[in-house]
Amino acid sequence: MKKNYNLLILIITICVNSAFGFDSSVPVLTSQLTEDYPLEMPDLKEYPIYINATVEDPDMIDLVTLAIDGTTYNAIQKNGFYYYSWTPSSYGVHEIVITAKAVSGDETFIIKNIEVINTASSQVVETFKDVVIEYGGDNSRWYYGYYTLPQSIGSYDSINALFNVECPSISGGCDDWDRWAHIDIKGPDGNWIQIIRYITPYGVGCNHEIDLTDYMSLLQGEVELRVFIDTWGTGGWQLSLNLDYHQGIPEYDYSGVIEAWDATYNFGDPADLQPVETYTAEILNTVDEAYLRLSNTGHGWGENNTQNAAEFFNAFHNIDINEEEVYSQHLFNLCNPNPDNCTGQQGSWTFNRAGWCPGAISPPDIFDLSSYIGSSIDLDYRFHPSYVDNCHPNNVDCISGTTCPDCNDGYNPHYNVDGQIISKSHAPLFYDNILGVNAINNDEIYDISVYPNPSNGLFSLFTNHLEGRTRVSIYTIEGKQVKVYYFDSNEELLNHKFNLSKVPSGTYFINLENKKGTGTKKIILE
């Protein structure tokens, strides 16, 4: 009843503002705090309440407050969100009224009645179930969903993901090809944080498990999850994800996640052999344990990629701290036997690969940072230092038909890198993600138009406003990249005349991506 009452108040407020011609709008207010689960804590400890409050321009949020059992507290503003650290005064039910006030004076409030208990039980929580991802379908490569999860401090010692991949009842069934995929959770600031990196199997379904305890602080209350699969029209996938919360005393009550890198980087580009940006991290002295959780999968292969990089290249990368090499990463996975026991696949699933195997979750590599607690560090990820892609368009010595079949092929080696700093502590840690300069959120979906389509290979692209550097890739229906282009502005893209007249006729896909969003479009070359 209280949720409906709040909605009624919001509607009345909007109508009053409209009737009297007020320019300001009512603030939009949400919190991850949920009434669907009790707040479980064996001992009464600090619990972070995360809040999002926005209002349309030109108005601004002036203040966010929490009235807890009648006493009012101010929330702390962070980059993109608000939070308050609440220590319950007792077990039982507590009324929490969260209010967002705009500069104009307009207010919105929500009421949460939160029961605090000192017991917990192991439980499996269902998130998305039987979601079908099919290019051109209801979930065309992306799926977004809202879910409610248990909320606790000190009640669970682990969270295990149970990930089920099946063949859907659609034309084509399971996709015939191995596709890059990932599952992300939205942080309090709106940033998407990868929790699972995955490569689909060739044409079969499989079951998978992975420990997600590192994300205990995020897998709480009301959350939004998303799934991406890089499928292009040769079937699809049916997905389900359950989270197994195991009751027990954790080693640390609090944890935190900071994203250092989340981007695609060229490998062996003679013009930029070490493209990963330096990330400066401050590891607080209240932290008891810290490590780098590093996921990297290599892609690209063929006669125009020196040594079949990056997918089939046996690489040794370096992790430097304060300009000194501290760790070496051997990025090459044994795929037969399949690490997730996903057998019976089609294609070349038994071949070893760079950081992944078809039909398996890509396990992250862990590098200890605990010796740097209480200090600021410069973190560098250096690719295999001796590798150069001699067939790259930026190699001035590359001669098509002589040194390489086609120096402008475009299907050059690259890595999909995701690096996170995980912190663990007995003392409270609060979300304060400082994004790396190349972090990708991909919130916006670009609407792409192609003219003419079908085409003889000569065409133009039109899309809504772009921001920053944009990558345009052309793929076959099997998912092989045939061309790639980079544009520094929307104007540059709109003025470019694409020429694929030398590409064989057939159906292709155009993928556009930058730090703000993505978009895809089918094109037929005649």
CA angle 434, 440, 442 (to 5 degrees): 130
Phi, psi of 262 (to 5 degrees): -160, 85
- Report DSSP state, residue 352: -
Q: Identify residue 320 by its one-letter amino acid code.
A: D
Cα 199 to Cα 87: distance, rounded to the nearest angstrom: 42
* Predicted pLDDT at 17: 45
Cα 408 to Cα 278: distance, rounded to the nearest angstrom: 30
pLDDT digits (tens, 9 = 90+) for 313-367: 999 999 999 999 999 999 999 999 999 999 999 889 999 999 999 999 999 999 9
Residue among 407, 414, 412 at smallest CA distance from 383: 414
Architecture of domain 2-117: Sandwich (2.60)
The domain made up of 251-440 has a fold known as Jelly Rolls (2.60.120)
Hey, what are 220's tokens?
């709480």
First to last CA, the chain: 60
Cα 424 to Cα 417: distance, rounded to the nearest angstrom: 23
Question: What mean pLDDT do residues 2-16 have?
Answer: 45
- CATH assignment of 444-525, given 3.40.640.10, 1.10.3290.10, 1.20.120.160, 2.60.40.1930? 2.60.40.1930
* Predicted pLDDT at 331: 96
Say yes or no: do domains 120-250 and 251-440 share a fold.
yes
Q: Report domain extents, the chain.
A: 2-117, 120-250, 251-440, 444-525
pLDDT digits (tens, 9 = 90+) for 149-189: 999 999 999 999 999 999 999 988 999 999 999 999 999 99
How many Å separate Cα 329 from the centre of its chain? 22
Burial (CB count within 10 angstroms: exposed 0-12, middle 13-18, buried 19+), residue 113: exposed
* Predicted pLDDT at 479: 67
- For the domain covering 120-250, report its CATH number: 2.60.120.230
Cα 438 to Cα 454: distance, rounded to the nearest angstrom: 35
Q: Rounded to the nearest 10 degrees, how much is the dihedral formed by the CA atoms of 442, 448, 453, 457?
A: -60
Question: What mean pLDDT do residues 89-105 have?
Answer: 96
CB within 8 A of 188, min separation 6: which ones? Answer: 32, 50, 52, 78, 80, 81, 83, 431
pLDDT digits (tens, 9 = 90+) for 418-466: 999 999 999 999 988 765 544 455 566 777 888 888 888 899 888 876 6
What three-state secondary structure class fits 18? Answer: helix
Cα 305 to Cα 299: distance, rounded to the nearest angstrom: 10
Question: What mean pLDDT do residues 108-130 have?
Answer: 97
